[in-house]
Amino acid sequence: MDRARARARDARRDRRGSRASPTGPRPEHHRRAARAVGSRSPGCHACPSASQRRVGPRGLNTAVPFLELEPRDRLLVRAAVDAGPSAATAWDEWFRDTDLDDAAYPEGRLFPQVFANLNASGLAGCLPPRMRGKYRWLWASNQMRADAVAPALRALVSAGVKTLLLKGAALLAANRRGWGTREMGDIDVLVPTTQAGTAAAVLVDAGWTGVQGVTPRYLAARLVARRHGWNFDGDGLSADIDLHWHVFEGVRGLHANDELWSAARPVAFAGVDTERLDDADHLVHTLEHASHGEATQRLDWLVDVDSLLPHVDPERFVRVATSMSLVDVATEGLEIAASVLASERAELLAQRMASTRRDVRSRLLAHTAGPSANGAPRINELVRTALVQAGGGSGPLGRAAAVRRRRVEPNLVARPALSTTLALLGRPRRAEVAALRLWGPLTRSDPRTLPTGEWIAITPELLDAIGGPGWSWPAPDGGGVWTDGSEARLALDIGPVTGRDLVLGFELGTSAHHSPNPSVELRVNGRALETWQLGPEPEPGPRHVAVPAWLADWCRPMEMVLRPVRAFEPWQRRGAPGDQRWFVQLRALRVDVQ
């Protein structure tokens, strides 16, 4: 049986593609401090940085394989979920050669659950006394986090924004896990996709701040189509809010979550009436999130699965996993859970998922994950964008509108019809130059004169004013803002300076050398000035590009464009879910007058 499972798992992974370099860009927002048992201590390991996480080619949201478990990991999980003497035996075997001060952070996250499990059977006497303290500390910590976000939840509800709890908060509110057993690093809150910008504005008004200065305008215009969520910090509060507008990473249609919302269950959280996912939907989400390979969740997800399985409707689980193109992920996760938990429910559900035929959408996404058989990578990428952005229920017109919304970003250009036409034609240089001469910059920008002779940080606030299409999210570590897609535009207004040569300076981001698009062309006012070769080592210093006076003067504000030389090759999505294609990470720019 184990060999058959291994062969099936290998086949699923072959459909997803091989693993990519672990250094690819994948910004995340896990900034949880490492905590030892009962106290803050360097003994536990902090969450790895983005550059340390494992990434790999994906389908719609088929992630890297689940992290492998060691035999001792299985023992600790069994101590957390087994009944009575079996749990005590597993703990004794795990603890025999272990110093709690040296326990890794993912292991430490399970200690409160181990205590609660053995305490319920009257067997907690075999545990170190500090385990009880850890349980009490976590109970109090979770209560404080819930109380800290309650005003924000009330503000969202008062503003007419629907809310739904995800992950740990949902498990606690639904009594699937105990308040002293499941750590909430942040509070995950889902809002309807169409209300994401409104929700962000409500949070800002309530005193919360988007990580790395992301504004509600930036989030609504750029991040909703590219990400599934973004973190907000409370000033001096003990918790963060991870605001989601999509449940699954890589599923980004405006109505992709409608089926999940329709089955949501009412729940109260810190005295606020909200909702949570149906247990079957929550199990699908738990498995999908575990497949991201985040080290902090290496063990916790199995206990979450164990708590959800008794409440899951198998019919709904299969339907949702299939509709979200997660058959392979759900099957593999359930097989792992069945093996580790010795769960007959997980085994039967895994067998049912393994026999489920993947839908047409999944098969198309698998096809577009690699080189096109007919040598048309651009068509492959457009098909992929339509599948990711439009959702399963959209017709041809809806999918075409989704492609335009994602690839042209009409809300960020001055003349949407013109930009759409140029995109359909492949953005020919002569046509673009003619358009610039007739109508000026294609970028929709607010009046803002940039200072010359000094470095200007690339921030969401700046890009709200001068940024056109193609600007993605700022790295949480402050390493710069990623560009994404087939081009990224800026409108540079330097005031009345004319007849002078200019030099543009660019400080590339700390992870720019990890770009999956190593060749990037820079254009000013429609003319290609330089082609950058990125990587494999970090940039030794800023890059500088000379702009002759005649070119700088004939179109003001100047339109600067960054464009990957080969924008539609499938391998350029390395490590990216859905239809993302990173190409440059920038931290700052500078304009010098000669």
Residue 70: Cβ within 10 Å count:
9
Does the pLDDT of residue 261 top 70, yes or no? yes
Least-confidence region, from 7-11, 360-364, 422-426, 461-465: 7-11
Name the strand (E) or helix (H) holding 265.
strand 265-269
- Residue 10: the pLDDT is 55
pLDDT in tens, 549-578: 999 999 999 999 999 988 777 666 665 667
Structure tokens at 277: 């996912």
Facing residues of 268 across strands? 273
DSSP 23-73: TS-------PPP-BTTB--TTSPPPPPGGGS-----SSS--SPPPP--HHH
Q: Residue 229 phi/psi, 5° resolution? A: -175, 170
Instruction: Give ∠ CA 153-154-156 in degrees, rounded to 5.
Output: 65
Among all chains, which residue has been given the structure tokens 């964008």?
385
For residue range 265-319, list pLDDT tens digits in order.
999 999 999 999 999 999 999 999 999 888 888 999 999 999 999 999 999 999 9
State yes or no: pLDDT of 337 exceeds 60: yes
pLDDT level of residue 238 (50, 70, 90 thresholds):
confident
Question: How far is residue 148 from each of residues 238, 243, 459, measured CA to CA in Å?
Answer: 6, 15, 28
**Percent of the chain at pLDDT exceeding 90:** 63
Q: Stretch 195-221: mean pLDDT, rounded?
A: 96
Q: How far apart are CA 585 and CA 472, in angstroms?
A: 9
* Burial grade of 400 (CB within 10 A; 0-12, 13-18, 19 or more): middle
Architecture of domain 441-593: Sandwich (2.60)
* Structure tokens that stand for 163 in this block: 């809310």
- DSSP-derived pairing of the beta strands 471-474 and 481-484: antiparallel
The pLDDT of residue 371: 57
Where, residue-wise, is CATH 2.60.120 in the chain?
441-593
CB contact at 8 A, 463 and 217:
no
Q: Are strands 187-190 and 240-244 parallel, antiparallel or unpaired?
A: parallel
| Mean pLDDT value of segment 376-380 | 67
Residue 246 main-chain phi, psi, to 5 deg: -130, 145
Q: In this predicted structure, what is the pLDDT of residue 392?
A: 52
Handedness of CA 441, 446, 449, 451 (dihedral sign): negative
> What pLDDT, on the 0 to 100 scale, is given for residue 176?
98
Q: How many other CB atoms are there within 10 angstroms of residue 3's CB atom?
A: 7
Q: Is the peptide bond before 536 cis (omega within 30 degrees of 0)?
A: yes
Whole-model pTM: value is: 0.87
Give one DSSP letter per residue of 171-200, joined into a string: HHHTTSS-TTTS--SSEEEE--GGGHHHHH
Q: Which of 86-90, 177-181, 353-357 has the lowest mean pLDDT?
A: 353-357
Kindly tell me if the per-residue pLDDT of 111 is higher than 60: yes
Provide the sign of the torsion angle of the four alpha carbons 466, 472, 478, 479, taken in this order: negative
Residues 511, 474: contact at Cβ < 8 Å? no
What is the distance between the alpha carbons of residues 523 and 9, in angstroms, rounded to a whole number?
Answer: 46
Cα(295)–Cα(107) distance, rounded to whole angstroms?
Answer: 10
Q: Would you state the pLDDT for residue 64?
A: 46
**Is residue 267 within 8 Å of 200, Cβ to Cβ?**
no
Rounded Cα distance, 572 and 19, in Å = 14
Amino acid at 377: P
Q: Which residue has the tokens 């790295």?
A: 475
Flag the least confident range among 38-52, 188-202, 466-480.
38-52
pLDDT band at 11 (very low <50, low <70, confident <90, very high): low
3-class DSSP assignment, residue 347? helix
Quick: pLDDT tens for 420-445.
999 888 889 999 999 999 999 999 98
**What are the residue ranges of helices labelled H in 228-326?**
258-262, 279-290, 300-308, 314-323
Per-residue model confidence (pLDDT) at position 42? 25
Average pLDDT over residues 320-336: 93
**Mean pLDDT calculated for residue range 53-78:** 66
pLDDT above 90 for 118: yes
Highest mean pLDDT among 34-43, 67-76, 195-204: 195-204
Binned at pLDDT 50, 70 and 90, residue 28 comes out as very low
Q: Which residue bears the tokens 């429609």?
A: 526
Query: In whole angstroms, how far apart are CA 379 and each of 92, 188, 386, 571?
Result: 58, 36, 11, 14
**pLDDT class of 19 with cuts at 50, 70, 90:** very low
Q: What is the CA angle 224-395-220, rounded to 5?
A: 10
Rounded distance between C-alpha atoms, residue 177 and residue 184, angstroms: 11
Q: How far apart are CA 264 and CA 182, in angstroms?
A: 22
pLDDT tier, 384 (very low <50, low <70, confident <90, very high otherwise): confident
Outline which parts of the chain fall under CATH 3.30.460. 145-277
Alpha helices (runs of H) in 224-278, residue ranges in sequence order: 258-262
Phi then psi for 446, rounded to 5 degrees? -90, 150
- The average pLDDT across 467-485 equals 91
**DSSP string for residues in 528-549:** EEEEEE--SS--SS-EEEEE-H
pLDDT for 36 beyond 50: no
> What pLDDT is stored for residue 6 in this prediction?
58
Range 91-120 average pLDDT: 94
Q: CA 586, CA 576: separation in Å to the nearest integer?
A: 18
Beta carbons of 81 and 108 less than 8 angstroms apart? no
Q: Which amino acid is at 554?
A: W
User: CA-CA distance, 531 to 555, in Å (whole number)?
Assistant: 22
Q: How far apart are the C-alpha atoms of 140 and 217, rounded to whole Å?
A: 36
Q: What is the C-alpha separation between 112 and 182, in angstroms, rounded?
A: 8
Question: Measured between alpha carbons, how far is 153 from 275 in angstroms, rounded to an integer?
Answer: 11
CATH 3.30.70 for the 145-277 domain, yes or no: no
Radius of gyration of the chain from its Cα atoms, rounded to whole angstroms: 25
Tell me how far apart the alpha carbons of residues 414 and 402 are, in angstroms, rounded to a whole number: 19
Mean pLDDT of the chain: 85
Q: Work out the pLDDT band at 518, boundaries 50, 70, 90.
A: confident
